[in-house]
């Protein structure tokens, strides 16, 4: 029986893949790798198996003595496998992975998995013929640019007036059902479309919903997911931080507001000829556009609350019949403030807290 322990066990270096250095979720420790390689070495060499069989025929006691090391190895392998299983989630969190379910540490539920901020390039996959080449697009002419220039006194006054206007902007969850002229909404959307974008790809789509039935379907989808968010996904800390704002998963304003504006980012463009066009920094571009949209709404006296419906994107995209290249970024209920509207008495940071002059 001692021939088991006098056997030279092959080192991990003889294997084609260095599994002990693997940094993935199933990181294999050297101890477990030792037991695994020893087991393979033993069972694959007939010189060891045959003595085992011969010894087993002598007596039951001899059989038990011979099989004891093998059983020990099997138990070690099982223990090693369970050890790996228990360490896999920790490895995922250390490397920034989110895993499939919520976790108390390392999980970032506010990052919607449907919103991957990765620029999709032609080299990233698919048929190269599906993507448009740069030289296929028309050459862009350049024209003179001479914007209006104001005297310093006018500049100061305009900057102060605009700050006072925007400093009145608040997130309002109590919205009046009073109708708003559609032309005003159209102008607000046009203003948002003046935002800069990567390579001037303008990767945004603004879906304006005023149909009561569609608004109600949107509310049902959002409230169903939001209840799960508040009860499970968000975690106690996030729910606790929202408590002073008195928010919950009930979104009555989705039915009441005369308009819902859903802003979609286009992960890539689709040209009339069916080819795909790369949209660089699409999420940052659309986010800038959303900021301008908020300013435009404030300028005309309308209110909204910035809503990022977590995990609702795919359902809302299908409901609104948007193509697969579009991902929901933000949902804004838009209208006049209700007569009894209230907002939290929040204070904004002072200039010295947000400005660094060098």
Q: Is the pLDDT of residue 138 over 80?
A: no
At 268 the three-state DSSP class reads strand
Q: Give the containing element (helix H, strand E) for 327.
A: strand 326-334
Neighbours of 151 (CB within 10 A): 8
Handedness of CA 156, 162, 164, 166 (dihedral sign): negative
What pLDDT sits at residue 156? 98
Q: Is the pLDDT of residue 28 over 60?
A: no
Lowest mean pLDDT among 24-38, 160-174, 186-200, 269-283: 24-38
Q: What is the mean pLDDT of the chain?
A: 77
Our CA dihedral for 305, 306, 307, 308, rounded to 10 degrees, sits at -170
What pLDDT sits at residue 235? 66
Q: Is the pLDDT of residue 337 over 90?
A: yes
pLDDT in tens, 105-133: 455 444 444 444 444 444 444 566 688 76
Residues contacting residue 159 through CB under 8 Å, at least 6 positions apart: none
Mean local confidence (pLDDT), 240-245:
69
What pLDDT sits at residue 332? 97
Lowest mean pLDDT among 63-67, 69-73, 95-99: 95-99
Determine the Cα–Cα distance for residues 268 and 132; give it in Å rounded to an integer.
Answer: 11
Which residues are bridge partners to 276 per DSSP? 131, 270
What letter does residue 124 receive in the DSSP assignment?
Answer: G
Residues 98, 233 contacting (CB under 8 angstroms): no
What pLDDT sits at residue 85? 63
Determine the Cα–Cα distance for residues 130 and 125; give it in Å rounded to an integer.
Answer: 10
């Amino acid at each position: 029986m001692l021939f088991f322990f006098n056997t030279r066990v092959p080192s991990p270096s003889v294997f084609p893949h260095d599994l002990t250095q693997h940094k993935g979720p199933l990181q294999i420790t050297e101890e477990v790798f030792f037991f695994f390689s020893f087991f393979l070495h033993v069972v694959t060499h007939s010189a060891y198996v045959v003595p085992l069989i011969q010894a087993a025929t002598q007596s039951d006691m001899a059989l038990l003595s011979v099989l004891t090391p093998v059983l020990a190895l099997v138990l070690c392998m099982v223990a090693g496998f369970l050890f790996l299983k228990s360490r896999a989630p920790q490895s995922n969190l250390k490397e920034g992975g989110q895993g499939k379910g919520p976790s108390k540490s390392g999980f970032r539920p506010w990052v919607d998995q449907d919103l991957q901020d990765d620029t999709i390039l032609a080299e990233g996959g698919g048929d190269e013929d599906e993507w448009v080449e740069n030289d296929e697009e028309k050459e862009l002419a350049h024209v003179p640019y001479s914007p209006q220039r104001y005297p310093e006194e006018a500049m100061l006054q305009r900057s102060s007036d605009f700050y006072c206007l925007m400093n009145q902007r608040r997130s309002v969850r109590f919205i009046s059902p009073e109708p708003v002229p559609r032309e005003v909404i159209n102008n607000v959307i046009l203003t948002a479309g003046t935002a800069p974008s990567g390579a001037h790809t303008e990767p945004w789509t603004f879906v304006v919903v005023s149909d009561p039935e569609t608004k109600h379907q949107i509310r049902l989808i959002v409230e169903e997911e939001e209840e799960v968010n508040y009860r499970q996904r968000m975690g106690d800390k996030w729910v606790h931080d929202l408590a002073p704002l008195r928010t919950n998963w009930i979104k009555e304003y989705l039915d009441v507001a005369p308009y819902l504006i859903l802003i979609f980012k286009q992960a890539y463009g689709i040209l009339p000829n069916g080819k795909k066009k790369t949209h660089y920094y699409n999420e940052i571009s659309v986010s800038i556009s959303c900021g301008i949209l908020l300013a435009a709404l404030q300028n005309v006296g309308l209110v909204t609350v910035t809503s990022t419906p977590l995990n609702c994107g795919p359902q809302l995209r299908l409901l609104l019949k948007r193509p697969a290249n579009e991902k929901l970024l933000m949902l804004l209920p838009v209208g006049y403030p209700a007569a009894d509207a209230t907002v939290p008495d929040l204070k904004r940071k002072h200039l010295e807290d947000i400005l660094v002059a060098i």
